[in-house]
């Protein structure tokens, strides 16, 4: 069996992190037997017209709290420390310079976000910098991706949970993971907090306590133009 480590990377604004993010990470790790998953909060997401509501400090802290009980999870601050927009291709190239092969990298993303991959910076080259692990999200099944993205259909593979690791190709692919993930969004959480509604079913207890203590999100959380 191939013992080479496989690193999962889950990028996002995490404004705030929630159970949907954690479900996606767990499904990707389980299906592709990832050695670890690194959660990477973005500094300035290029797909958003405004900056995140919570500071990078708070978003990093919330992610760290959310993953503290999982030994295979950790949080990275490379995008928060870098200047300018947070581009996935730049983050992946940084790992390449550190000696991590593209075939060992697995960029984790929800099916809703991956459907817009053609609008990303450095597309299509970004797909050569790592494997992409696309996980189904509520109302965004992975079964629709081959039809929606016909130019990428030949690169798509169905992920698995019980397989000889030696059969994994050395090149990069788009792995499709069909999994149950909770219907939670960061914008929905911000809206609930702005209306003093409970969020216990949306975020881990430690994150809920952090939000209660710091009172980060106010009336501006109802802005539906902000993406997760």
Distance (Å, rounded) from C-alpha 197 to C-alpha 184?
A: 14
Residue numbers of the domain that contains 154: 7-183
Distance between CA atoms of residues 47 and 119, nearest Å: 9
| pLDDT given for residue 49 in this prediction | 66
pTM over 0.85? The answer is yes
41 assigned to some structural domain: yes
Name residues of the chain where pLDDT drops below 70: 1-3, 47-49, 160-170, 219-228
Q: How does pLDDT run across 86-129, given as a tens digit for each residue?
A: 899 999 999 999 999 999 999 999 999 999 999 999 999 999 99
* CATH number for the domain harbouring residue 17: 3.40.50.620
Give the full edge-to-edge strand order of the sheet including 73-75. Answer: 73-75, 36-41, 7-12, 105-110, 131-135, 174-177, 156-158
Q: Say if 216 falls within a structural domain.
A: no
Q: Does residue 82 lie within any of the structural domains?
A: yes
Residue 73 near residue 28, CB atoms below 8 Å: no
Q: How many domains does the chain have?
A: 1
The per-residue pLDDT for 3 is 45
pLDDT of the residue at 124:
96
Task: For residue 47, give the nearest of 117, 140, 128, 126 by alpha carbon.
Answer: 117
């Amino acid at each position: 069996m191939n013992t080479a480590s496989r690193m999962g990377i889950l990028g996002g604004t995490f404004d705030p992190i929630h159970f949907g993010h954690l479900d996606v990470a767990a499904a990707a790790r389980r299906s592709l037997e990832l050695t670890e998953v690194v959660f990477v909060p973005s500094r300035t997401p290029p797909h958003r017209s405004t900056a995140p509501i919570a500071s990078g400090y708070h978003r990093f802290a919330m992610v760290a709290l959310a993953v503290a009980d999982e030994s295979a999870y950790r949080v990275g601050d490379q995008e928060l420390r870098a200047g300018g927009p947070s581009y996935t291709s730049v983050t992946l190239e940084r790992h390449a310079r550190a000696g991590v092969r593209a075939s060992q990298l697995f960029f984790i993303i929800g099916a809703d976000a991956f459907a817009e991959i053609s609008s990303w910076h450095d597309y299509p080259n970004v797909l050569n910098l790592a494997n992409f692990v696309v996980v189904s999200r509520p109302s965004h099944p992975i079964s629709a991706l081959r039809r929606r993205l016909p130019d990428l259909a030949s690169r798509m593979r169905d992920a698995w949970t019980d397989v000889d690791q030696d059969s994994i190709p050395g090149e990069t692919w788009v792995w499709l993971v069909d999994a149950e993930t909770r219907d939670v969004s960061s914008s929905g959480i911000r809206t609930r907090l702005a209306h003093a509604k409970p969020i216990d079913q949306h975020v881990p207890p430690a994150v809920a306590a952090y939000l209660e203590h710091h009172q980060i999100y106010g009336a501006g959380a109802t802005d539906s133009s902000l993406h997760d």
